[in-house]
A and B are shown apart, each in its own frame.
Chain A
Amino acid sequence: MRDDERIDESIDAALRSYAEPVEMPETRVAVAQVMVRVRSQRERRVGWWVWGAVAAAFLAVALAMGAMWRMGGSREAEIAWKPAAPGVLQVPMMPKESATNRVWSMEARDRSRSPRRPQLRIAALPKLEVFPAPRALSPQEQALLAFASEAPAGVRQAVIEDQQYWDTPIVVAEVKIRPLGEDEQQSVGQKSNLER
């Protein structure tokens, strides 16, 4: 029992020296070192925020430029078609909405497939089967236009009605002529003598 107590005492004594650090930096020096590291850490963190803010600003500018580029592209698509010949009657024409959508959807598809792929921009063309190309009026058309604007209403109506039967065949009734009698032949002869 005494041995156990003695051993316990030796253990306690050894533990006290065991837990006591061999060399310990002075508290004042240690506090100063910790505070220096704290301040440098805080400065690093501030620097990180500054760089983060700069990066965010650049990103915002890039996004804005991208949005502006897209808006510019849509304006181009709104121009339907300009006839090359000067002085020709220009009818304001807009592409059908479905045609514009198709152009945009094709561009979006191309972008999603490969950003480096050259984009094929297709100008929206008018539907020629719906809107024939404008051209100068022919002399006949000009004459028709003048007639339609100047002729009386009754004549215009007669022409319009007549147009309804333009392909109807004309039927001419059979003409029967009776031969001349003797009296009628004599009287016709006397008339011709008198005229001479």
Chain B
Amino acid sequence: MRPEDEAEFAGLVERQWRFAYCVAWAVLRNAQDAEDAAQEMFLRVFRTRSWEGLRDERAFVARAAWRAAVDRLRGLAVQPGAASPQKRKDQAGDSAIDDVAAVGPDPEEAAVAANWEAAVHRLIDSLPEELRQPLALSVEMNSKQIAAAMGVPEGTVRTRLMRARTMLREKIAAMEERHYARR
């Protein structure tokens, strides 16, 4: 590799590192795994020399980072002793609802507000993966970019986003209902 190529590749990593890391984080939800996936993605891109002559650098990185993160997620799921993903999701959703609902009156109001966001995070975690991933990616990308990254039609992404929000609304409403019922 020529020095100018190396400098060009370093520039690509510098420009897109944060975005690649965020995409990997949205899928993996673990700092170390996200960092490893992002690094692995850049190494794979370097190996295959697919970074040369890119037309849409951001879309390319989104696709590659999502692919690397999903591969890593599958690798983690097949490790011995790991709980099934759906079981973990169910447990996360139940505990989030219980945590918010179990908080007592007045002094706990502040705790509810503080824990609210964390509880919603766990509710998002409890969504099916096909709904959670586009929802998490929707902060950084629009539906067209998400569709390009995941390799599905844009209409499918929009449908999944709508279903994810509907499910989330229902879960939050149930959580609020249980919380106020206890009060």
Contacts and interface: CB of A to CB of B under 8 A. Distances in A.
Contacts of B13: 30-31, 34-35
Nearest to B25: A21
Contacts of A20: 22, 139
B108 interface: no
Contacts, number: 92
Contact of B120 (A14, A19, A37): A14
A194 interface: no
A190 interface: no
Nearest to B38: A30
B158 to A, nearest CB: 16
Interface residues of B, number: 37
Interface string B143-183: 00000000000000000000001001100110000000000
A24 B168 CA distance: 27
Nearest to B47: A41
Interface string A1-44: 00110011011011111111111110110110111011001100
Interface of B: 1, 6, 9-10, 13-14, 17-18, 21-22, 25-26, 31, 34-35, 38-39, 42-43, 46-47, 116-117, 120-121, 124, 135-140, 165, 168-169, 172-173
A15 B46 contact: no
Nearest to B43: A37
Contact of A38 (B14, B38, B43, B136): B43
A34 B41 CA distance: 10
17 contacts: A11-B168, A11-B169, A11-B172, A14-B116, A15-B124, A15-B138, A15-B139, A17-B117, A19-B139, A20-B22, A21-B21, A27-B14, A30-B38, A33-B39, A34-B39, A38-B43, A41-B43
A28 B15 CA distance: 10
Contacts of B165: 8, 11
